[in-house]
Structure 1
């Protein structure tokens, strides 16, 4: 069974500060999303609005056509793993599993036990005794074991070392293969999720700047490198979203279709760029424009 989530013109204000502006999107079923944006862009706010932890100032969230406001049946189809520690400090790990199962009846205890063994998490420990990393691991395990159709992960690898981060993403992919559903991963470690993310949502200045497949985005993302004068001539009129310089060499980062009729100088090369480089240049673009 799949769940359809639609956001219709979502805006959020705190006093006079507008955090989100007119966000409209539809989450496709059985898809892994990367929710990207700089710190303070509104990613966590958006996830909290999705799960009705905080209200939107305007707009609607529809889950299978039903508003998410005070709708336990609809909200039971979504699970949010977030940074705030919502569990009692004296609760033991196995007790937190049991409590979660009261809300998500299909909680996979067998998988939870397997994952605690793999991550080296003692189920008899109290939540308050766990390190930041192991608190994240516990919340990650719960996210992979609940039976919700939409799993929202807000900085899921906070405090994890490299080995545990790799293990988590490996387990995420395996559980996704066993039971396809929708994952939305909000993280600043873009290079670690680039290989698994099928769709990218980019929040920039509180607005939805991009909603597209990773394949489509990377297919029209390039670096043009060579002598500065030649690079500038070649990229004139193209959508240059950023650049780097080293001595007399320059790299322009282009987002969009290249003009096939342009003649590429022998001293200039064109190469694809990765998701991390694309993100950095797209999100820094407004800063550079503001400084001109």
Structure 2
């Protein structure tokens, strides 16, 4: 059961927030949704989860549109910065309300997470700090029975220890009950090892959708004297380039030439790949 975003565009007044986005989210996969501030990530997630409406295009789950489709929406869950839970409700009452809508809830997991995160389930949502509100929402997200879980800035306000604990729970629950996770975050280095595929949106446009394996295989940093670097990289996609005196560092993508390299070659990590793809300085 795949979830398909088909030619989705969104316009706010004169601003094009999303421009003809098409993506397929396959089942049982962990995706990273990456983009700079204002790229359109949250807008896309809100449209997928029926919290906002596309100007054009559609979102379909197993061929059925999700717009105002309660049956389809029970398979999809979005955890975001928005505080949609009634502030006066206790945390465990929020769990019960969620169970009522989705039909089931992993109480065993929720209780264990409450204990490990040192969160009192009898506290009301409004009395929680920003970090503990995020934790409460994360517990709900991991405990619902949905096949598609969307996490928009999931670790907002969490300290390093709590972030690591969440990542551990994410992987453990994914292994025990595989489903699709889509994580939108700016903490790229922290989540890189969790991801299987990435989607990069820039200025409302989809600019990349590929596997982490492909990126690590094809991305390289090539450095050395300007002439040698330019000659060696002429057949590659140049993502970006830094120059210092007569030395050049090129961020490239593609199959490396078979000729002997007279330059230094290093792997390109996910964060550097993202920064070079979306670096607007090169457009000036």
* 1:101-144 deviation line (CA, Å, top 9, x unaligned): 11111211111010000001111111111111111011111000
Q: Distance in 1 between matches of 2:248 and 2:24?
A: 39
Specify the alignment match of 1:252 in structure 2.
Answer: 250
* 1:52-107 deviation line (CA, Å, top 9, x unaligned): 10000000111111111111000110000001111122111111111111111121
State how 1:125-274 maps to structure 2 within 5 Å. 125-246=123-244, 248-260=246-258, 262-265=259-262, 268-274=263-269
Specify the alignment match of 1:290 in structure 2.
Answer: 283
User: Is 1:66–2:61 an aligned residue pair?
Assistant: no
Q: Distance in 2 between matches of 1:145 and 1:236?
A: 50
Specify the alignment match of 1:44 in structure 2.
Answer: 42
Structure-1-length-normalised TM-score:
0.94
Q: Distance in 2 between matches of 1:136 and 1:244?
A: 38
| Contact residue 239 and residue 276 of structure 2 kept, 8 A | yes
Q: Distance in 2 between matches of 1:161 and 1:113?
A: 21
User: Is 1:30–2:28 an aligned residue pair?
Assistant: yes
Give structure 2 stretches of 5+ with no counterpart.
Answer: none
The structural deviation recorded for 1:253 is: 0.5
Q: Distance in 2 between matches of 1:77 and 1:195?
A: 26
Q: Distance in 2 between matches of 1:216 and 1:234?
A: 21
| Contact residue 4 and residue 59 of structure 2 kept, 8 A | yes
* Partner residue of 1:114 out of 103, 112, 115: 112
Worse-matched range after superposition: 196-205 or 225-234? 225-234
Runs of 4+ aligned structure 1 residues displaced above 3 Å come to 244-249
Worse-matched range after superposition: 57-66 or 233-242? 233-242
Q: Distance in 2 between matches of 1:30 and 1:160?
A: 26
The structural deviation recorded for 1:223 is: 0.2
* Partner residue of 2:89 out of 83, 88, 91: 91
Worse-matched range after superposition: 154-163 or 229-238? 229-238
The structural deviation recorded for 1:232 is: 3.0
* Partner residue of 2:274 out of 269, 276, 279: 279
User: Is 1:20–2:18 an aligned residue pair?
Assistant: yes
Give structure 1 stretches of 5+ with no counterpart.
Answer: none
CA RMSD in angstroms comes to: 1.3
Q: Distance in 1 between matches of 2:18 and 2:135?
A: 29
